[in-house]
């Protein structure tokens, strides 16, 4: 199915050249506009897949103003067309988070490449948005569940919390250690701690969260985790700020 594009350009000759190029490239020009006000109206009426927007337009609204209004109502990618590449103009345009820029005069290959990259970027953004909404709904609905979902290699993996031995911070990532796998995900320890059941897990160090059921011993200021399936043990340091809280959770004879 052809991609429907809204072309917004106040110079009629340039607008017709763009339409010819887009048609030649296999796109469908669903509507055209020469002012910001008309562009907003056309977007609402024709629901294009993408807008090519000249920054400098006749009338009260600039292309930047029109793009901001269109993205708020239609949520479509916008590519700016401009002969003005000065820093001030680009900084104003950045506020609307466009999906690309094309400097005039441009070639058909520039038009095609920028449109395809913008559509690809937009598609990925929507996929991420859907995944994030799903994760939020799962977390909100099952805040004390005995499982959680993590994003790993572009998939949502379900983990039983009882299978998690400990969590370790690695700069901008965390590593979740289970009986048979290590999952490295982009997250913060604060986020992970918030989504693990408090009755089972304990933060013992700024870089470690442990499963209390997996602790075999406490010795020399460390907790010892028995990784039975791996036939090994892991000593994890207990930070000074966490000793009292850990002590409150263990029974000593």
192-233 confidence digits (pLDDT tens): 888 888 889 999 999 999 999 999 999 888 999 988 766 788
Q: What angle do CA 100, 23, 108 make, to 5 degrees?
A: 50
Average pLDDT for the chain: 88
Element (H, E) at 104: none
Count of other CB atoms within 10 angstroms of residue 81: 24
Predicted confidence at residue 141, as pLDDT, reads: 45
**What are the residues whose beta carbons fall under 8 Å from the beta carbon of 68, sequence distance 6 or more?**
95, 96
- In order of their start, the domains of the chain are 4-131 (3.40.50.2300), 145-247 (2.40.50.1020)
Who contacts 188 (Cβ-Cβ below 8 Å, separation ≥6)?
Answer: 174
Q: Are 105 and 11 in contact (CB under 8 A)?
A: no
Handedness of CA 131, 134, 140, 142 (dihedral sign): negative
Give me the percent of the chain exceeding a pLDDT of 70: 93
Residue pair 118/100 in contact by the 8 Å Cβ criterion: yes
pTM of structure: 0.57
The helix/strand/coil state of 108 is helix
Residues in Cβ contact with 63 at an 8 Å cutoff, skipping those fewer than 6 apart: 8, 36, 39, 53, 54, 55, 56, 57, 80, 81, 82
């Amino acid at each position: 199915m052809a991609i429907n594009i809204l072309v917004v350009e106040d110079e009629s000759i340039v607008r017709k050249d763009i339409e010819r190029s887009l048609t030649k490239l296999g796109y469908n020009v669903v509507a055209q506009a020469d002012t910001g006000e008309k562009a907003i109206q056309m977007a609402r009426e024709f629901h294009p897949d993408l807008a090519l927007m000249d920054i400098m337009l006749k009338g009260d609204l600039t292309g930047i103003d029109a793009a901001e209004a269109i993205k708020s109502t239609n949520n479509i990618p916008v590519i700016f067309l401009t002969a003005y590449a000065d820093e001030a103009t680009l900084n104003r345009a950045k506020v609307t988070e466009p999906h690309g820029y094309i400097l005039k005069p441009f070639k058909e290959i520039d038009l095609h490449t920028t449109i395809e990259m913008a559509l690809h970027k937009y598609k990925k953004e929507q996929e991420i948005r859907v995944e994030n909404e799903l994760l939020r709904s799962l977390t909100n609905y099952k805040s004390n569940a005995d499982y959680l979902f993590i994003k790993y290699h572009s998939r949502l993996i379900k983990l039983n919390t009882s299978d998690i031995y400990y969590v370790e911070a690695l700069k901008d990532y965390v590593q979740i250690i289970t009986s048979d796998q290590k999952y490295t995900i982009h997250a913060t320890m604060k986020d992970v701690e918030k989504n693990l059941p408090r009755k089972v897990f304990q933060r013992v160090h700024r870089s470690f969260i442990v499963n209390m059921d997996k602790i075999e011993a406490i010795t020399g200021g460390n907790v010892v985790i028995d990784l039975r399936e791996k036939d090994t043990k892991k000593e994890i340091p207990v930070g000074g700020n966490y000793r009292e809280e850990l002590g409150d959770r263990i029974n000593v004879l």
